[in-house]
Structure formats: C-alpha cells, structure tokens
Amino acid sequence: LSINVRTMKAIRVKDQEDIERAESFFTDAVLLDAFDPEKYGGTGLTFDWNIIGHISKRIFLAGGINPDNVAAAIGLGVYGIDVCSGIEAKPGKKDHRKMRKLFENIQRLRG
C-alpha cells in the first residue's frame, strides 16, 4: 500500500534561529507565523519577513497579512499566504471590503 501524504509544520517565528530550525523538520512545507507568548495564530502580529531568506521547503506565510502588506508578503516568493485577522472587522467577523481589497491587490500583482 502506497500513500502520498504531504505535511506542513507551523512555526512561530521570533528570530533567525526559528527560520533555520524550519529546515530540520521532515515536512514538505512550513507555515511561518509571528510568535506570541500567549496565542497561536490570529494575533494580527507580523515578524521581520526579511529574515526568511532561503528555505528549501514550500513556505506559507501567516501573521498580520492584510490588504496593505499582501504585495510585500507575496513578493517574498512564498508558496502561499494564510490570512485571518488582517481581513476582519472585529475578531471572528470578516470584513468584505478588506477581503475584496486584498484580492484586488493580489490580482494586480498577477498582471
């Protein structure tokens, strides 16, 4: 029996050491999110994306992505983005205008 399974590891990033650690996991991809000592995701926080550098795995970027910074996030060459609080009007309530603007900005990048 052969099963083709892809795996991803979420990593809360504080510094360059966390980025380097991403290579050590036996996964196909990593999701890089901002570190928060109390919460896992949905914080609206970003980390210094300039420390990402080159990782041989597919990178999904999370943490504070919104319509205003989505171009910079995608410009890093990431495989995908994870968007949550950056398009919310309030916690748990998506803002349709922010969602539309985010996708318009992504479309603009695609030409």
Confidence of residue 37 (pLDDT cuts 50, 70, 90): confident
Q: Is 69 left (phi over 0), alpha (psi -120 to 50) or beta?
A: alpha
Say if 80 falls within a structural domain.
Answer: yes
Is residue 101 domain-resident? Answer: yes
In a domain, 2, yes or no: no
* DSSP string for 44-109: -----GGG----SSEEEEESS--TTTHHHHHHTT-SEEE-SGGGEEETTEE-HHHHHHHHHHHHHH
Kindly state the average pLDDT of the residues 2-9. Answer: 84
What pLDDT does residue 54 have? Answer: 81
The confidence score (pLDDT) of residue 100 equals 97
CA distance 50 to 45: 15
Residue 3 counted as domain residue: no
* Alpha-carbon distances, residue 46 vs 26, 41, 57, 107 (angstroms): 25, 11, 20, 22
Within-domain flag for 76: yes
23 domain residue, yes or no: yes
Domain containing 31 equals 8-110
Task: Grade residue 39 by pLDDT with cuts at 50, 70 and 90.
Answer: confident
What is the residue type of 79?
A: Y
Q: How confident is the model at residue 108, as a pLDDT? A: 93
Strands 29-34 and 93-94: unpaired
Q: What is the pTM of this model?
A: 0.87
* pLDDT at position 33: 95
Residue 97 placed within a domain: yes
Q: How confident is the model at residue 1 (pLDDT cuts 50, 70, 90)?
A: low
Q: For residue range 41-100, list pLDDT tens digits in order.
A: 777 889 999 999 888 899 999 999 999 999 999 999 999 999 998 999 998 899 999 999
Give the tens place of pLDDT for each residue, 21-34.
Answer: 998 999 999 999 99
CATH number for the domain spanning 44: value is 3.20.20.70
Q: How many structural domains is the chain composed of?
A: 1
Segment (H or E) for 41:
none
